[in-house]
Amino acid sequence: MQAARPLLEDVAALSAAPLADIARRLRAALVPYLDSSALVIFTEDCTGRPQKKAGAEAIISRVSIAELDHIRASLVGPSPAGPSLPGGNSSGFEGSGVELWEGEAVLGGEERPVLALSSPSNALLVLAHPQPLPDPADQAEAQWVLRYLWQLTAERIREKVADAPPSYLIESRAASAERVRVTAELVDRHSTTLETLLAALRSPALKDDAARKSATDVAAKALVGLRTLNDRTTDLVEEPVSTAFQRLRDDLRPLMNFSGIDVQFIEPPVNGRALPGEVAHAARAIVRGVVLAMVDQPKVRRIRTQWDCDGENLLINVRDDGLGELSAEAPNIARLVQRVEALDGRISIEVMPGWGADVAVDLPLDPPARQLADVSEWKLGERELEVLQLLSAGQRNRAIAGKLHISENTVKFHLRNIFRKIGASSRTEAIALAHSNGLR
């Protein structure tokens, strides 16, 4: 019993961990069983922070979505992201929905030994330079613990995102928009460069055909890769409305199977506008909450849910055939109202005694235009404000130092003061707060 106590404590810590700290907690829990230089979690459920990382800064600061997609391909076989990595070993855990792959892969810009695990929720765990225990018997136990803690962590992330507070939705939307903006700028700049290179190399004025062909192939491949990365980043923050609705059906399938209630789904148009990730997640959570509140009423036999999209808003309607006793003042409904308001949406609840309840929700697909706010309450110095403006424009520490002619250590010093003054705990949160106050 004494030996099991540390593991139980780690399980308790992971179960209560906030999303921002969950990667560090998982890495610390794994150290007695499988040490690593860096740990990366990649989950598309979190549109604002799809990567959660802990360990060596030289690795985690350079990890890209393209690298993680390539590693994931080794777990699931060939995919549009590219072929599986050579020279690795893949295995699964029976009945768990977890696949494991171990081999060499590019992570953080360099090829390294990695261990990767999938999860039923489609999250990905990657460990760099894994150091297994020397005893084979201990290795078997360590692998079981690794699988168990990873499944617990992946489920914790899924639950936290599904039950995210309104403040998380606001920050997620700002972070998603920032990532798309920065990526679009990179694509525009590099696409122009590569297209110019291709035009020059294809010119008949160049005589060295072999060199021209080789350079053309390299440039064309780089251009395709860059555009693929842009599409992949967009995929993280957008979800086709039909796909989002199918995920809702999957979420509610257990209720349909065991409650005896007929849950009907009216499909949205398949060619409707794609939903921003935070809207899709919030919409599913709102419908789940409404359906569960309706199920708690007596004599409900049928619930109908419908989605539609008018190009600017996601239109949700949920209706039951109960006695019309759904209360808009109930705590579970009040929480749903907060979710809707966090995305600048509208919700109306119409109760018809003896006939049932009808809930209508409109969620705008685009964030509202924000007016430039006064940031004087943050009491930032002139240099701190300059650093924050460059940070909110997507600049890294080295670029900020170069523009302001100061050292990177000075930039870090200013950032620490800025985070303290504005109440931010990370770069992403600071950017979100800056954008919400009109700083670009």
**Residue 155, C-beta contacts closer than 8 angstroms, at least 6 positions apart:** 119, 121
> CA 49, CA 40: separation in Å to the nearest integer?
12
CA angle 227, 230, 232 (to 5 degrees): 110
Grouped pLDDT means (10 residues each) for the chain, 440 residues: 66 82 90 91 72 88 84 64 45 62 90 91 90 78 88 85 60 58 60 66 69 71 65 64 86 75 88 80 86 87 91 91 83 82 86 90 77 68 88 82 88 91 83 73
> CA 41, CA 53: separation in Å to the nearest integer?
6
- Reading the block at residue 393, the tokens are 């424009």
Predicted local distance difference test score (pLDDT) of residue 167:
54
Residue 82 near residue 74 (C-beta atoms within 8 A): no
Distance of CA 322 to the CA centre of its chain: 37
- Reading the block at residue 185, the tokens are 């700028």
pTM: 0.51
Q: Which residues of 169-204 are buried (b: 16+ CB within 10 A; e: fewer)?
A: bbbbbbbbbbbbeebeeebeebeeebeebbeebeee
The dihedral through the CA atoms of 161, 166, 172, 177 has a sign that is positive
What HEC string does the chain produce?
A: CCCCHHHHHHHHHHHHCCHHHHHHHHHHHHCCCEECCEEEEECCCCCCCCEEEEECHHHHCCCCHHHHHHHHHHHHCCECCECCCCCCEEEEECCCCEEEEEEEEEECCEEEEEEEECCCCCCEEEEECCEECCCHHHHHHHHHHHHHHHHHHHHHHHHHHHCCCHHHHHHHHHHHHHHHHHHHHHHHHHHHHHHHHHHHHCCCCCCCHHHHHHHHHHHHHHHHHHHHHHHHHHHHHEECHHHHHHHHHHHHHHHHHHCCCEEEEECCCCCCCCEEHHHHHHHHHHHHHHHHHHHCCCCCCEEEEEEEECCCEEEEEEEECCCCCCCCCCHHHHHHHHHHHHCCCEEEEEEECCCEEEEEEEEECCCCCCCCCCCHHHCCCHHHHHHHHHHHCCCCHHHHHHHHCCCHHHHHHHHHHHHHHHCCCCHHHHHHHHHHCCCC
CATH number for the segment(s) 5-162: 3.30.450
> CA 411, CA 397: separation in Å to the nearest integer?
6
> Which CATH fold would you assign to the domain 376-436?
Arc Repressor Mutant, subunit A (1.10.10)
Left, alpha or beta for 324 (phi > 0: left; psi -120 to 50: alpha)?
left
- Reading the block at residue 48, the tokens are 């604002």
Residue 415 near residue 400 (C-beta atoms within 8 A): no
Predicted local distance difference test score (pLDDT) of residue 79:
36
> Which CATH fold would you assign to the domain 241-364?
Heat Shock Protein 90 (3.30.565)
